[in-house]
Chain A
Amino acid sequence: MNPRILARTAVRVLRQLRHDRRTVAMIVLLPALLLALIYYVFDGRRVVFDTVGLTTLGVFPFVLMFLITSIAMLRERTSGTLERLLSTPMRKLDLLGGYAIAFGLVAVVQAAVLTAVGYGAFGLTIAGSVWLVVLVAVLDAVLGMALGLLCSAFARSEFQAVQFLPAVVFPQLFLCGLFAPRAEMAGWLHAISDVMPLTYAVEALQEIGRHPDPTGTMTRDIAIVAGAALAALALGAATLRRRTD
């Protein structure tokens, strides 16, 4: 990796975002608005909101970053800029790392706003540290980014790219324990949810919600989410081909 190219790529991605204010506003505000919606849906049921609201702090960044990255990367592929970059001294990891840093920073802002709204406006109560919540939210965003990047390699058009959202993200949402406790799932569903990275992100958040101090499960889950994000990034790198037909 070349630190200069890595940093310039991250700045370039952030510049592209800065020129698109509406997207920035949606990234920062949309999750908070959705959290408000959930709060009113569960109006009066404190315990349910504490669980569901907390979980969504991890889920929203994951979903949004997946979408944004798969479109951004598809654009790189279809506009010819990817081919141009790969014919220069740039290394694949410089490009992917640049995206990871830029979107990672965006995720920090998004998670900070979302968590602040959850705590400040809706009185979300959890036992553990708020910083751990932000950490997991950012990791989720990077995971979503890495999976979006990987999926964009298999999409030839934006129509196909957006449909990877229901294909890749929805099953993880259904099986992560947000809708039904994993312990009550049929064996085969439980097995599938065991290999889905979002499961561990949600479990980590639930652990943070219940325990004032970090637990072994919490640490393991966070490591699994980080490992899955790295693995998806590495697989994404393998899909960037310098020579094509």
Chain B
Amino acid sequence: MTSESAVEIDKLVVQRGKRTVLHEVDARWDAGSITGLLGPSGGGKTTLLRAIVGVQRVASGRVQVLGRPAGTPDLRSRVGYLTQAPSVYADLTVRENARYFASIYDGVTRADADRAVSDVGLTGAADQMVGTLSGGQRSRASLACALLGDPELLILDEPTVGQDPVLREDLWQRFHELAAGGTTLVVSSHVMDEAGRCDRLVFLRDGAIVADDTPAAIRAATGTDDLEAAFLTLIRRAA
């Protein structure tokens, strides 16, 4: 089943008021891979991720996730979603947050919740109130809650923003372990040095996909080893 696409998007259009946020986006991403969604802020990254999760109102087009239309009720236990702003309760401890979100999924135990907290390096702060954590810690607390329930598809909106290099290394290692175990990850970032860690790169700009390929193919096509420079080249070509 690994050859099957985990995410299939056809002619997806999203409008907010009179503004078109996504213009007929098409994409197919494989199961068990890490897709990096890159591009300037305001380019539509979060909107595209929300459409895959099924929480975005769409104007037209089709989004199939794990073979089902995005947002279908049975997908809710198979898709994990990390929002860009940490969405955890500030007036609960890290552990209480993780255990609460764990209780929503069948068969996810308190031990699983504690493991998710340790996966994001927060064991030492597990009994601290989320409201007293630093910004980086808070977003890791939110990430811990998104990892719960062994989702088949993990949508992570800027999971490493505000984290120090050592932690980013640890988190990426965890993402690769998950992908090796068959989980499909879609990770947005605006840090180009993370692009090289993905199996596939998607550059999104002004609501349209500028490039969608492996890092190696993008490097070859643009004749540069530096992905940031490659991105600039692609934008100039598109203009």
Contact = CB atoms under 8 A, between A and B. Distances in A.
Interface string A15-40: 11001100000000000000000000
Interface residues of A, number: 24
Given A87-B53, A242-B55, A243-B56, A15 B96 contact: yes
A80 interface: yes
Contact of B87 (A15, A20, A84, A245): A84
B79 interface: yes
Interface in B176-202: none
Contacts of B106: 89
A5 interface: yes
A46 interface: no
Nearest to B77: A89
B172 interface: no
Interface stretch (B97-105, B158-166, B209-217, B218-226): B97-105
A188 B103 CA distance: 51
Contact of B54 (A15, A16, A87): A87
A86 interface: yes
Contact of A80 (B71, B87, B96, B104): B87
A86 B92 CA distance: 19
Contacts of A210: none
Interface string A78-97: 01110111111110000000
A89 B105 contact: yes
B141 to A, nearest CB: 12
Given A16-B89, A19-B129, A88 B83 contact: no
A12 interface: yes
Contact of B104 (A19, A88, A242, A245): A88
A64 to B, nearest CB: 18
Contact of A12 (B53, B54, B79, B96): B96
Which of B77, B86, B100, B105 has the largest count of A CB atoms less than 10 A from its CB? B100
A85 B54 CA distance: 13
B7 interface: no
B103 A84 contact: no
Contact of A8 (B54, B56, B57, B104): B104
B89 A79 contact: yes
A242 B71 contact: yes
Contacts of B101: 84, 88
B16 A245 contact: yes
Given A242-B54, A243-B56, A79 B104 contact: no
A243 B88 contact: no
Contact of B55 (A9, A12, A90, A244): A244
A12 B91 CA distance: 10
24 contacts: A8-B100, A15-B92, A15-B96, A16-B91, A16-B92, A20-B91, A79-B85, A79-B90, A80-B85, A80-B86, A81-B89, A83-B83, A85-B104, A87-B81, A88-B77, A88-B101, A88-B149, A89-B76, A89-B104, A242-B55, A242-B71, A243-B56, A243-B57, A244-B56
Given A8-B100, A242-B54, A242-B71, 9 more contacts: A12-B100, A79-B85, A84-B145, A89-B76, A89-B77, A89-B105, A89-B106, A244-B55, A244-B56
